[in-house]
Every structure is written in C-alpha cells, then in structure tokens.
C-alpha cells in the first residue's frame, strides 16, 4: 500500500514541476540541481543525485494537485473535454520532470543510480502520453524499481531522503 502511495505521489510530483509556468512555489526540499554543483560537474556523486531526485519529489503545489483532482473527477463523470484539458495542462510538467531526471542520470557516475534515474525519466515520459487519468495506476509499475534503488543507494551514501521515502 505504501509503495502504491509513493508511486501515485510520483505521478503527482511529476505534475508539480508545472510550478514554473503556474508561478507556484515548491512546498519543501532542495532544489532540483544542488547549489554546490556546477553545470560542468559531469561526474556527480550519489548524494548529489539523491538531492536532485528528492528535490523533484518536493515540487508539489496546490495548482498541480487541483489539475489532477479535477481530472480524476471529470473522468468519473465521463467529462472527456475536461479530462483532455487537465491532461494537456499536465503534459509539459511530465516532460520537464523527465528532462530533470535524465539530466541527473547523465551527471551521476554510479551505474545503478544512473539506471534508476533513467527509469524515473522514462516513467515521466510515459505519463506525458496518458490519455486518461485511470492510466496513472500504472505509475507504480513504472517507478517502483527506480525508487527502491534510490532509497537504498541514497541511504548507503548517507543521504537522508525527505520526500522520496
């Protein structure tokens, strides 16, 4: 049950990056790219990758949650126009999150963490193609492997995850 909640949370968090276009503030957590990292830092450490991933999980905001809630409610009512509108509003978010996970994957030297971040990026890309809110149920299958690797590797590296738990 907790794993399902985390996977649904990822789906919600992926939509949180829309904060850039919605002028909303992240609720908590570190920035997506650690402040101590330079853009040229090609071989980032596991803790830096953990900070980046954990930051993505912290990007929830009220407007994003409202898109999701409205979409699920519209789908229950059979309101296809609203479902399409809400999915369209969320698509750029999923693509932005996918890009951020891919960027973190490209920068980390650890092969296992690289694969986990790539898996999460792929899940975000998949979410950007959803045509129904009921498809969000598949997020657990798409994210569980990457999440478990990150939880284990971050813990082993001494990084305490705040948002991805």
Is pLDDT of 12 > 50? Answer: no
Sign for the pseudo-dihedral over CA of 95, 65, 145, 36: positive
Q: Pseudo-torsion of CA 24, 125, 74, 26, nearest 10°? A: -20
Closest to 72 measured CA to CA, from 87, 58, 88, 89: 87
Structure tokens, 29: 């957590």
The whole-number pLDDT of residue 63 equals: 64
Are 54 and 28 contacting, i.e. CB atoms less than 8 angstroms apart?
no
- All structural domains of the chain with their residue ranges: 2-23+42-156
* Most confident segment among 2-6, 66-70, 103-107: 103-107
CA 12 to the chain's CA centroid:
8
pLDDT digits (tens, 9 = 90+) for 80-126: 999 999 999 999 988 998 999 999 999 999 999 999 999 999 999 99
Structure tokens, 122: 């792929």
């Amino acid at each position: 049950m907790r794993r399902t909640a985390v996977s649904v949370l990822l789906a919600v968090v992926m939509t949180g990056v829309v904060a850039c276009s919605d002028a909303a503030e992240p609720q908590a957590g570190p920035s997506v790219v650690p402040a101590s990292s330079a853009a040229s830092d090609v071989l980032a450490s596991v803790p830096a990758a953990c900070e980046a991933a954990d930051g993505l999980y912290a990007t929830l905001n009220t407007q994003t949650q409202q898109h999701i809630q409205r979409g699920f409610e519209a789908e229950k009512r059979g309101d296809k126009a609203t479902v399409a509108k809400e999915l369209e509003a969320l698509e750029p978010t999923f693509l932005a999150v996918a890009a951020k996970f891919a960027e973190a994957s490209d920068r980390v030297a650890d092969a296992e963490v690289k694969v986990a971040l790539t898996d999460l990026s792929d899940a975000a890309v998949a979410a950007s193609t959803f045509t129904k809110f009921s498809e969000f149920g598949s997020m657990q299958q798409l994210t569980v492997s990457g999440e478990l690797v990150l939880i284990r590797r971050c813990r082993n590296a001494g990084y305490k995850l705040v948002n991805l738990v």
